[in-house]
Amino acid sequence: MSLPQRRIGPFTVSAIGLGCMNLSHAYGAPPPVADADAERLLLQALDAGITLFDTAALYGFGANETLVGRVLKPHRQRITLCSKGGMSGQPVGQGGALQRVIDGRPEAIRRDVEASLQRLGTDVIDLYYLHRWHKAVPIEDSVGEMARLQAEGKLRALGLSEVSATTLRRAHAVAPITAVQSEYSLWSRNAEIAVLAECHRIGAAFVAFSPVARAYLTGTLRDVSAFDAKDIRRAMPRFAPATYAANLVLLEPYAAIAQQAGCSQAQLALAWLLAQGEHIVPIPGTVNPDHLAENLGAATVQLSPQVLAQLDALFQPQVIHGPRYNAQNQAEIDTEDFPGTAHGG
């Protein structure tokens, strides 16, 4: 299958990539799918024309990188391999159990890169992101170490995740930033405040994670009370039952727009993102082969100016109930928020 192509720095990639996180992490008891099923999905994505694969040291505390590296190693020259560090599983306390730790010190960045290279079974990572800016460490220090690793040939290009335009400018002054990865969808439009424009100004791509809003924009998620105990959405205010119910009212007119456009609701969400700019590349994740095929179908959906205007009007940030993250996780990110919105969109 041939997918439309977009540019991320020196790389030509499929216009829709694959976020690999939920093959190992996040939306259910780990692992959410058997290894054999995860392998099949990765190879199906490859056969379908996906060339951009995104993982991180954090996902499954390394298990996702190990999976992606093992399955895709024979096809290494066909893909653009992306990973993230500066937030990983590290032994904490007497028991040494792994816990999520944000650490942007240069020595931690180097440790994370070396560990990722080993798990991925590669000599170089194509695009490497700072997963979170560790605010106790100047961004210049973290990016400076990434640039040294790049000079050593261990990284081909550098990125940042969940940062503001101001932080992006500071980082880009140290070393060229090829991409910013943050949440972006009709449901989460914070990137439109400043980062999208700054990416365009410096020539960086914007890689959109959670482009179907963690299943909200598929129209299939109705009962959030049934989440697995380890589902990360349980800690997200937008998915609290009462708040989510308030957001569900938007889905009826949204479904009508999808019908008008002749596509599924998930495809509508992805097609809207693709229409926002050539420097935007969504990376939906899934464990379901049918959903993978459905997502890729969005690449052929052409939305009229009238449909785009309807979607823009329907999903104005001030009508979204609940912030993206709880207070602790919100303090860990650096993205702009809409001022004066009643619901923390």
Catalytic residues, by residue number, are 59
How do 11-14 and 5-8 pair as beta strands? antiparallel
Instruction: Please say whether the beta carbons of 209 and 178 come within 8 A.
Output: no
Q: How far is CA 36 from CA 23, 67, 287, in A?
A: 11, 10, 12
Angle (deg, nearest 10), helices 251-261 and 305-314: 170
CA–CA distance, 216 with 336 (Å, rounded to integer): 22
Instruction: Please say whether the beta carbons of 238 and 244 come within 8 A.
Output: yes
Instruction: Please say whether the beta carbons of 70 and 35 come within 8 A.
Output: no
Q: How far apart are the first and last CA of the chain?
A: 37
Residue with token string 């693709």: 274
φ, ψ (nearest 5 deg) of residue 48 = -80, -5
CA–chain centroid gap for 320, Å, is: 20
Residue 188 CB partners (closer than 8 Å, separation 6+): 210, 213, 320, 324, 345
Q: For residue 205, what are the β-bridge partners?
A: 179
My answer on whether omega of the bond before 289 falls inside 30° of 0, hence cis, is no
Instruction: Please say whether the beta carbons of 72 and 79 come within 8 A.
Output: yes
